[in-house]
Amino acid sequence: MSGRSDQDRSRGDSGSRSRDSDDDGTLGSVEPSAELEAALREAAAAVPDPERPEPHHEVVLEEAVEGSAGDEVARLREELKVAHDRLLRLQADFENFRRRALRDREEALHFGSQNLVKDLLPVVDNLGRAIDHARQSEGGDLQGLLQGVDLVWRGLEGILSKHHVQEIEALGRPFNPALHEAMAQIPDASVEPNTIVEVLQKGYQLRERLVRPARVVVARAPDVPDGGGAASGES
């Protein structure tokens, strides 16, 4: 019975295999399970489609571009604010400088000679003392008056020198129209023509600027007598 049973089982297995096989000799289709379908869906989702980029990446890129543009605009606005503040400060500083320069100019115009006047006051005092002394002596002490005037004159020269006022040298020097003013010409054979032989009024310079030219008399060559030339021609 055991042998028959084995034969029956072999027939049943062959029969079942024949039923599972198709008419054309191929195996029949197997129904997919739920686990297999889920695995296939996960695999398909993991593989990106090259023809269609993921929208998530596009959104991130656009947000990054917008963020960088916003930062650049904020930076430019900050620089503009700093430049505007600097311009306002420079404008205020320039206005203060303009007002200060105008005030200094007005003070120099009205009080620029203050130091000179202050230095001249002692000379004026000495001159007044000399005049009072001459009046008290009723003109008898002329020597004292002369000494007082000489003292005043020397004081004035010292003050002018202190303030960089220099006398223009003229006597015996060649005539210079930039420094001298010729008032007359006289014939003089003892010196070269255009030599200054007399100073009518002294000239002065403040540093290198001409304050007043020296008024002078200039020498010229003596005239040649006409008779002498005719006589030499006849001989």
In this structure, which amino acid lies at residue 151? L
Question: Which of residues 84, 112, 140 is at a domain's end?
Answer: 112
pLDDT confidence band for 23 (50 / 70 / 90): very low
Residue 84, classed as helix, strand or coil, is helix
**Pairwise pLDDT comparison (217 vs 74), residue with the higher score:** 217
pLDDT in tens, 150-172: 888 888 889 989 999 999 999 99
DSSP symbol at 213: P
pLDDT of residue 230: 45
Q: Give the Cα separation of 47 and 39 in Å (integer).
A: 13
Considering the domain architecture, whether residues 219 and 182 belong to the same structural domain is answered as yes
More confident position, 89 or 226: 89
Q: Per the domain annotation, does 102 fall within a domain?
A: yes
Q: Domain range spanning residue 76?
A: 58-112
For position 48, what pLDDT does the model report?
A: 57
**Per-residue confidence (pLDDT) for residue 182, from 0 to 100:** 95
Alpha helices in the chain (DSSP H): 2-20, 34-46, 55-111, 114-136, 142-162, 226-234
The packing angle between helices 142-162 and 114-136, to 10°, is 180
Asked if the model's pLDDT at residue 58 lies above 70, the reply is no
Residue 150 lies in a domain: yes
Contact (Cβ atoms closer than 8 angstroms) between residue 185 and residue 220? yes
Number of domains in the chain: 3
> Rounded CA gap, 75 and 71, in Å?
6
